[in-house]
Amino acid sequence: MKKTVFILILLQSLALPMIASAHHVMGRPSYSLNEDSNTPPSMQVETRIGDYFVTYMIFPAFPRPGQVGRINLYASTIDNGQPFQGTVRFSVRDDSWFQSKEEIIGDQPVDDNVFRQGFVFSKEGDYIISASFNANGQPYHIDFPLRIGQPSRVGVIGVAVTLIFVLLIGVNIAQRRRVNRAKMRQTQRP
């Protein structure tokens, strides 16, 4: 009996160092993790505009209506890499041919060399986000697309192909009827 108790205590003391709760994940405290922490952005684009190199990212990876999202924008000069220290204006408009109304969603100052803008959309759809700023008397303007919700299964190309297909079938049916009428007229002549 004493040997059994001794062996159990020995095994428990050996296993005790292996039982540890994780406090950090890749160097970050676990209490600071949220749904965006390990989620890639839905879009990450690096571009050059005038004298600036601009990078922007949109989080979360799959934005949905009613869900809070954010845009991170970095702007630095091409010649020396100095970050832009002004204010960036973010605006949004529908991505449609007939929509020209643009709504300002915020003017953001720099925060640790990043311009952060939050957003919430109530409806699914395709939108164009615009970021603009003035530096050294020059205006800079960047547009980028944003899809909120699930993309439609049938896009513009699908609708166009379907319309052409229906049109071809209609023309084919009309031609057959015309040919059949012409044949019937010829057979009815004496």
Residue 18 pLDDT class (50, 70, 90 cuts): low
Residues 168 and 128 in one domain: no
53 contact partners, CB below 8 Å, separation of at least 6 = 46, 47, 75, 76, 77, 78
User: Which residue range is the domain that position 42 belongs to?
Assistant: 34-148
pLDDT score recorded for residue 114: 92
pLDDT score recorded for residue 37: 53
pLDDT score recorded for residue 45: 83
Residue 76, domain member (yes or no)? yes
Is the model's pLDDT at 142 over the cut of 80?
A: yes
Residue 105, domain member (yes or no)? yes
Residue 156 falls in which region: left (phi positive, over 0), alpha (psi -120 to 50) or beta:
alpha
Average pLDDT over all residues of the chain: 82
| Residues 109-123, mean pLDDT to the nearest whole number | 91
pLDDT score recorded for residue 26: 52
- In angstroms, the CA 34 to CA 51 distance is 36
Residues 102 and 169 in one domain: no
Q: Which of 105, 77, 106 is nearest to 93 (CA)?
A: 105
pLDDT score recorded for residue 131: 94
First and final C-alpha spacing in the chain: 121
| Residues 6-23, mean pLDDT to the nearest whole number | 65
45 contact partners, CB below 8 Å, separation of at least 6 = 55, 56, 144
Residue 71 vs residue 100, higher pLDDT: 71
pLDDT score recorded for residue 108: 94
pLDDT score recorded for residue 189: 72
pLDDT in tens, 53-69: 999 988 887 888 998 88
pLDDT in tens, 150-173: 866 766 788 888 889 899 999 999
CATH of the domain at 51: 2.60.40.3340
How many domains in the chain?
2
Residues 144 and 163 in one domain: no
| Residues 112-141, mean pLDDT to the nearest whole number | 91
Residue 51: CB atoms within 10 A of its CB come to 14
CB-based burial of residue 158 (10 Å sphere; 0-12 exposed, 13-18 middle, 19+ buried)?
exposed
pTM strictly above 0.85: no
Residue 38 pLDDT class (50, 70, 90 cuts): low
Residues 81 and 169 in one domain: no
Is the model's pLDDT at 22 over the cut of 70?
A: no
